[in-house]
Amino acid sequence: MKVAVIGAGPAGITAAYQLSKQLKEVDIYESSDAVGGLAKTISLWNQKVDLGPHRFFSNDVRVNELWLELAGTDYEMVNRLTRIYYKKRFFHYPLKPFNALKNLGLIEAGRSLTSYGVQKMRKGTDESSFEGWVTSRFGKRLFEIFFKTYTEKLWGISTRELNADFAAQRIKKLSLWEAIINGFTGGKGNKHKTLVDQFAYPTDGSGIIYERMADFIQKQGGHVYLNTPVKRVLTRDNTAYALELEDGTIKEYDQIISSMPLSLLTQRLPDVPESIQQHASSLTYRNTVIVFLNVQAKDLFPDNWIYVHSNDLRMGRLTNFRNWVPGLYGEENSTICALEYWCYDSDEFWKWDNDKLINLAKEELKRTGLIKDAAITDGLVYRIPRCYPVYSANYKHHLQPIEQYLSSIQNLQVIGRYGAFKYNNQDHSILMGRLAAENILNKAHHNLWEINTDYESYQESCVITKTGLQKQ
């Protein structure tokens, strides 16, 4: 059997890795020059960095066993410190009640609790939007402080226009009351991934997991084709049978797994009904611009990353890579900070030149007060197109017909954040890849569209510790 996998991000390369354990002819096609997708690790100024903060955490034994299979003992447990920057104050995230009370002040804290109480007495709140969903669980005032600004920076649309599925996938069943209990108990018994205060991280960066997968695939006789974009999947008699590469080359396969952007895959398929094409063109993605800055100091601030909720700063998230593992910075005495900005293709910001972006990032980082007078000696801009599938209010209206259409095509599976149009973490994508391989190897019938939609999928049986898997 010959299998092709499009895209070497966590989902695609996991599928190829699992397939390569039993098959010799597994080919993976990646448009960029490295594997790992959004979770890749790059070398920069004699250090290593990821494309933003990519912690790994899962409760799913299938995912954790696979991750440990690749990591071996080459990982450390990182104590997470994440804070929210709002009005020149830092709020611990997950919530620490006394820290929040101190920063909000008694009057604002009282307003927030009153708002929460009023919300709890209301009935019939519309929870179809992100704003309605979060407000019903935290109250209007806390929504405005801790959710609204950051979310609108990320998605570029009003929180009233953002579907509640984003909150359901990211915040799950968390409420203000549960967050307070978590803060007082120090996280004991916590089952919410968003509140986890420790996570496993490879000593050489998150990308090493996927680089080791690529090495294994090639040793087994498969191929990892880098800088080789796929133009489209070819079908015949409602069956996927080949890939057409951008250079016009046709490659035939028995099975095809795709993690290329769902909208592009669908629009480029042969003989796609016009209605399906219109649905595909209505799905939108958000772009990321990361500006890496080399700051000449070692102990700037203690956070792994910070969510920037202040609306006077354009950046949305700030990562300090010196606070992850020593393997990233080695003997260097500087700190690499990554400032993330989000935009659409149509935004003027996406077209800014690198110098303008670097100058903006320098100015904003200094304004936070986090680096004091430390010098910034270098800057680098990294652009990532189509990295966030936008859950607009009516996205399901467009997505569901596409799901039904693609499911009718034999020998084709779509996976991953791009490929399935789902806001996946690494663990979701790894699971998608593993189950897609099982569908081929074992003739299983896993419904890959269901991954990252069910709260209970987080309630599995184990977590990774420094000594390996530990049952919960």
Domain match, 212 and 166 both: no
Mean pLDDT of the chain: 91
Q: Are 430 and 67 in contact (CB under 8 A)?
A: yes
Taking alpha carbons only, the member of 306, 317, 370, 323 closest to residue 82 is: 306
Instruction: Supply the Cα-derived Rg of the chain in whole angstroms.
Output: 22
**Is 412 domain-assigned?**
yes
Taking alpha carbons only, the member of 459, 447, 444 closest to residue 422 is: 447
- For helices 97-121 and 130-138, what crossing angle results, to 10°? 110
pLDDT tens string 298-350: 999 999 999 999 999 999 999 999 999 999 999 999 999 999 999 999 999 99
At residue 462, the pLDDT reads: 82
**Is 117 domain-assigned?**
yes
**Is 301 domain-assigned?**
no
Domain match, 265 and 399 both: yes
Domain match, 19 and 143 both: no
Residue 461, φ and ψ in degrees, nearest 5 = -110, -5
Domain match, 270 and 132 both: no
Taking alpha carbons only, the member of 438, 437, 391, 433 closest to residue 416 is: 433
Domain match, 167 and 106 both: yes
**Is 244 domain-assigned?**
yes
**Bridge partners, 317 (sequence order):** 307, 340
What's the length of the chain?
A: 472
**Is 72 domain-assigned?**
no
Residue at which a domain ends, from 147, 171, 195: 171
For residue 314 the two structure tokens come to: 């354009």
Domain match, 161 and 212 both: no
Q: Give residues with Cβ within 8 angstroms of 456, minimum separation 6.
A: none
**Bridge partners, 26 (sequence order):** 3
Residue-range definition of the domain harbouring residue 226: 2-42+203-278+394-452
Long-range Cβ pairs for the range 178-181 (8 Å, 24+) = 179/94, 179/95, 180/95, 180/97
Domain match, 150 and 209 both: no
**Is 432 domain-assigned?**
yes
At residue 348, the pLDDT reads: 97
- Residue ranges in the chain whose pLDDT is less than 50: 455-459
**Is 213 domain-assigned?**
yes
What CATH number does residue 218 fall under?
3.50.50.60
At residue 471, the pLDDT reads: 79
Domain match, 28 and 164 both: no
Domain match, 273 and 400 both: yes
At residue 3, the pLDDT reads: 98
Domain match, 260 and 115 both: no
Domain match, 398 and 259 both: yes
Domain match, 162 and 103 both: yes
At residue 157, the pLDDT reads: 94
At residue 458, the pLDDT reads: 44
Structural domain count of the chain: 2
Q: Give residues with Cβ within 8 angstroms of 93, minimum separation 6.
A: 82, 83, 84, 307
Residue 208, φ and ψ in degrees, nearest 5 = -65, -30
**Is 158 domain-assigned?**
yes
The predicted model scores a pTM of: 0.91
Cα gap 328→14, rounded to integer Å: 24
